[in-house]
Every structure is written in structure tokens, then in C-alpha cells.
């Protein structure tokens, strides 16, 4: 029985960087207005996975880069912990300053001492009864902050005082997730050894420490987690492929990750790499036995994804590797259909050079020419027409390509040029309303 990885790409909201909203909807061939969207958008789903790990650094960056927000005064414990010497902190504590005081981010003096990596202050505050499990407004405990900064010595002090290793932030992240994502190997090892938490602990999106390490390309942490057992190496391989972490891909496969295990959508690491046009990753995966013919839940192979994204080098590699150039997905669409609806002329030309059927009929009997016209890609239409595409073939609803999407004005020159070539007339001699 084929194993399906438990990891599922999470939804993406508010991540930094050039993110795009992923396409989640199903195609609906019963309604004429339902059109297959360019698979470039579904490639965006994979591209956004690459940015998943950045959420770690955005989860509360403001709270980690600013000092306490309490009024600036020599007698304020928060200010003293953040800015002042240990002697001042000791003086204020003797005067009765509260170790449970919080700033507007919900941080206690212990949070601030941990962020500074000031072990003597941390020890002093713990001795004075500072709550080791206090959470700030984002759900971060002092141990979260130690993991963020990689302060192993401070983390050890917290753990000895019973800091909860399984404490979760607002997004379900534990200190272990942070340590792994940021490559703090020694701290990751210490957190794994602490009772109450294992490598299988998941965040709100189902990601474990090994997924975070793969996303960040943290090789020593990956080696540690793989050697300890229980880590989802197959899911981590998918994350590494989406994030373009070639060294992580190589390491994970060497550690036993199965190269063809799919995610919840049926997409393999090769499909993710192809959709993102990462040629070197594709070569690596193919060299380790990845099957380019595996289909996702929509019946698409890696070549569909590469063609949809307009990734010529990826398309060339997959075709050279023997992928069927006219492979049809569940809607009957070939890679040429996807290249046409995306307006990717070079990809379309290469597919045609390798024998792709220019008049292949797919969903609603639409040919690549229909889709190119529907999305207004005149240069691609001209290419298809020059390679034998028939402008007279009709869809299930009786539409010829020129009628697609209401007959966009920008597609008229392509049809005029085709009619001119067939009849010997010039474009000026052919009235547009006669087409």
C-alpha cells in the first residue's frame, strides 16, 4: 500500500516576501464559465511553501527587537533588566520590585533577561521567584526566547527550573520548532532530551521540527533528528523541495527519505521542484529514482507543472528523461494546454518540437489554441496557428477559438494573419467582422 505523507502544505497568510495566493479550487466542467486557471497559480502554492519558515521570524519580531515599553525610569525593573547592570536589578529586587511585572508585549523581566542571554540575571530572577512558564501576548515563554536566540546556557537554567518544553505559541510552535528552524543544534538536542516532548510534536499547521529544519536547510539539525528516529523524513523531503534546499534534499534521501512519497495533494518532491523550475533539484531527484510519471490528485505529472510555470529548462529536462509529452490530466489537458493558457511560447514551441499534438482536445473539447485565445495570448496563438492548429475546431459549446472569452480584441490579429496566409489576402483586405 502506498504511503502518503502526513505533512500537508499549510495555508499562507501574511508571510513576508513575494507570496501569491494559492489556487485551491477544483475545476467545474459542468459550468461553461468555469475555466481551468493557469497552473502557474498552483505553482505558487509550492512557492509559498518555501516561505513558510519565514513565519517563524515574523511571528513576534517586533516584540523581540524592542526594549520594554514601560516608562523610562531608573526605578523600573524591566528597564533595568534590559539596559542596566546586574547590580541595579539586584537593588530594585531588594526594594520590592515585582518579578511578574509585564510590558505591553506581555513580557516579564525574565523574558528580557533571556533575550539578552544574561545567565546571571536569569539565575537571579529565577531565585527571586520569576515565573518560568509566563507567556507573553504571543504565547512565547522564556524558553521560546532562549530557543529563538540559541542561548543554550540560559535554556539549561530554565529547564532545570521546570520550564515547559511543550509550551506552544499562538501558532502552535514549541521551543523545539524554533531551535530546529534556526539551526541551533545543541539546543535542539537538549530540548529533545527533555521529558514531555518528542520529534513528532506538531505546530498549528502540522509541521514538526524536521520540517522546520528542512525548510531552513539546517543540515546538522536534520542529521540529529534523522539519527534520533521518529522524524517525518518523507514530509521533510517535500518541504526541502518546495524551499529549494538542495543540500537538504541530498541529506534526507541519504537518510532514507522516500523520493516518490506524495503530499496530501498527491504531489511528489519532483512535482514541487518542477512547478518551481528548479532544474538542479529536478536532476538530483531524477538521479535518485524519482518517477516523472507519478500523477497528483488532478492527474498531472511533473511536466504539466513545469509547462504551466513556463520553466523551459525543466520542461526540456523532463522531456529528455522520457516523460510522455502528451500526458493528459483528469481534465484531458496536456502540458501544451498549460503552456498555451499561460502564454509560455518557448515552452509551447519545445513541446511541439518534441511531438506534442497541437490540436489535442481536452476539457470541454478545448484545444491549446482555445486556451491561448481565452487568455488573450496572441503571440502564442500565432505560434500554434503556424504549427498547424485549426481555428475551426469547436468546443463542447460550439465555440471556435476566436469566440473564446467573448472574442478578445487583442486576439484578432492572430486570426487575421492566419486567414491572410490561407487565402493570400492582406489583413487590410479582410474585414474583421468577416472572421
What are 137-163's pLDDT values in tens digits? 999 999 999 999 999 999 999 999 999
Q: Which residues contact 85 (CB under 8 A, 6 or more apart)?
A: none
What confidence score (pLDDT) does residue 67 get? Answer: 67
Q: Domain containing 375 — which CATH number?
A: 1.25.40.20
∠ CA 62-213-263, rounded to 5°: 110
∠ CA 118-119-123, rounded to 5°: 125
Q: Is the pLDDT of residue 44 over 50?
A: no
The pLDDT-based confidence of 70 (bands split at 50, 70, 90) is very low
Better pLDDT: 75 or 381:
381
Instruction: Quote the CA–CA distance of 355 and 312 in Å, as a whole number.
Output: 16
Mean pLDDT of 18-34: 26
Domain boundary among 127, 146, 164: 164
Better pLDDT: 31 or 131:
131
Total domains in the chain come to 2
What confidence score (pLDDT) does residue 395 get? Answer: 85
What confidence score (pLDDT) does residue 398 get? Answer: 75
Q: Is the pLDDT of residue 243 over 80?
A: yes
Q: Is residue 25 part of a domain?
A: no
Q: Is the pLDDT of residue 21 over 50?
A: no
Instruction: Quote the CA–CA distance of 314 and 70 in Å, as a whole number.
Output: 55
Mean pLDDT of 12-26: 24
Q: Is residue 104 part of a domain?
A: yes
Mean pLDDT of 260-281: 97
Q: Is residue 414 part of a domain?
A: no
Print the domain residue range for 395: 325-404
Which spans in 107-245 are helix H?
A: 109-116, 119-127, 142-149, 152-160, 175-181, 185-193, 209-216, 219-228, 233-243
Kindly report the pTM of this predicted structure: 0.80
What confidence score (pLDDT) does residue 399 get? Answer: 82
- In this prediction, what percent of the chain has a pLDDT beyond 70? 75
What confidence score (pLDDT) does residue 414 get? Answer: 53
Q: Which of 78-87, 122-131, 319-328 has the lowest mean pLDDT?
A: 78-87
Better pLDDT: 342 or 34:
342
Domain boundary among 164, 179, 211: 164
Instruction: Quote the CA–CA distance of 7 and 9 in Å, as a whole number.
Output: 7
Q: Is the pLDDT of residue 7 over 90?
A: no
The pLDDT-based confidence of 400 (bands split at 50, 70, 90) is confident
Look over the chain and give the mean of its residue pLDDT values, rounded to a whole number.
82
Domain boundary among 164, 191, 217: 164
Q: Is residue 6 part of a domain?
A: no
Mean pLDDT of 246-269: 97
The pLDDT-based confidence of 403 (bands split at 50, 70, 90) is low
CB atoms within 10 A of CB 422: 10
Q: Is residue 349 part of a domain?
A: yes
Q: Is the pLDDT of residue 84 over 90?
A: no
Q: Is residue 357 part of a domain?
A: yes
Q: Is residue 147 part of a domain?
A: yes
Better pLDDT: 416 or 274:
274
Instruction: Quote the CA–CA distance of 326 and 332 in Å, as a whole number.
Output: 10
Q: Is residue 319 part of a domain?
A: no
What confidence score (pLDDT) does residue 196 get? Answer: 87
Instruction: Quote the CA–CA distance of 73 and 75 in Å, as a whole number.
Output: 5
What confidence score (pLDDT) does residue 410 get? Answer: 52
Mean pLDDT of 73-91: 85
Amino acid at each position: 500500500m502506498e504511503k502518503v505523507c502526513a505533512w500537508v502544505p499549510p495555508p499562507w497568510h501574511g508571510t513576508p516576501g513575494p507570496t501569491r495566493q494559492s489556487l485551491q479550487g477544483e475545476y467545474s466542467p459542468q459550468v461553461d464559465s468555469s475555466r481551468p486557471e493557469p497552473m502557474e497559480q498552483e505553482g505558487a502554492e509550492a512557492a509559498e511553501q518555501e516561505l513558510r519558515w519565514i513565519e517563524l521570524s515574523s511571528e513576534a519580531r517586533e516584540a523581540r527587537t524592542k526594549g520594554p515599553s514601560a516608562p523610562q525610569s531608573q526605578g523600573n525593573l524591566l528597564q533595568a533588566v534590559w539596559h542596566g547592570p546586574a547590580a541595579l536589578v539586584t537593588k530594585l529586587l531588594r526594594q520590592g520590585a515585582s518579578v511578574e511585572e509585564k510590558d505591553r508585549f506581555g513580557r516579564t523581566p525574565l523574558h528580557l533577561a533571556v533575550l539578552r542571554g544574561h545567565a546571571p540575571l536569569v539565575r537571579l530572577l529565577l531565585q527571586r521567584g520569576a515565573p518560568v512558564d509566563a507567556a507573553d501576548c504571543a504565547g512565547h515563554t522564556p524558553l521560546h526566547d532562549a530557543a529563538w536566540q540559541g542561548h543554550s546556557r540560559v535554556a539549561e537554567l530554565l529547564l532545570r527550573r521546570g520550564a515547559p518544553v511543550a509550551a506552544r505559541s499562538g501558532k502552535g510552535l514549541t521551543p523545539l520548532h524554533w531551535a530546529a528552524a534556526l539551526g541551533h543544534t545543541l539546543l535542539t538536542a537538549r530540548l529533545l532530551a527533555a521529558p514531555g516532548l518528542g520529534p513528532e510534536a506538531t505546530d498549528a499547521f502540522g509541521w514538526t521540527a524536521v520540517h522546520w529544519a528542512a525548510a531552513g536547510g539546517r543540515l546538522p539539525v536534520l542529521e540529529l533528528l534523522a539519527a534520533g528516529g521518529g522524524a517525518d523524513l518523507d514530509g521533510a523531503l517535500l518541504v526541502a523541495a518546495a524551499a529549494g534546499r538542495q543540500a537538504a534534499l541530498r541529506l534526507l534521501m541519504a537518510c532514507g527519505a522516500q523520493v516518490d512519497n506524495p503530499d496530501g495533494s498527491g504531489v511528489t518532491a519532483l512535482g514541487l521542484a518542477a512547478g518551481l523550475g528548479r532544474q538542479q533539484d529536478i536532476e538530483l531527484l531524477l538521479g535518485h529514482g524519482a518517477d516523472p510519471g507519478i500523477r497528483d490528485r488532478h492527474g498531472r505529472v511533473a511536466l504539466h507543472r513545469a509547462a504551466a510555470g513556463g520553466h523551459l529548462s525543466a520542461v526540456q529536462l523532463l522531456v529528455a528523461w522520457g516523460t510522455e509529452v502528451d500526458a493528459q490530466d483528469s481534465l484531458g489537458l496536456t502540458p501544451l494546454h498549460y503552456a498555451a493558457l499561460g502564454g509560455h511560447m518557448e515552452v509551447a514551441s519545445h513541446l511541439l518540437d518534441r511531438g506534442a499534438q497541437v490540436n489535442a482536445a481536452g476539457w470541454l473539447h478545448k484545444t491549446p489554441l482555445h486556451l491561448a485565445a481565452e487568455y488573450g495570448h496572441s503571440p502564442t496563438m500565432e505560434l500554434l496557428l503556424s504549427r498547424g492548429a485549426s481555428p475551426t475546431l469547436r468546443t463542447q459549446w460550439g465555440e471556435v477559438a476566436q469566440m473564446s472569452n467573448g472574442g478578445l480584441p487583442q486576439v484578432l490579429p492572430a486570426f487575421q494573419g492566419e486567414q491572410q496566409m490561407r487565402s493570400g489576402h492582406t489583413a487590410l483586405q479582410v474585414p474583421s467582422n468577416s472572421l
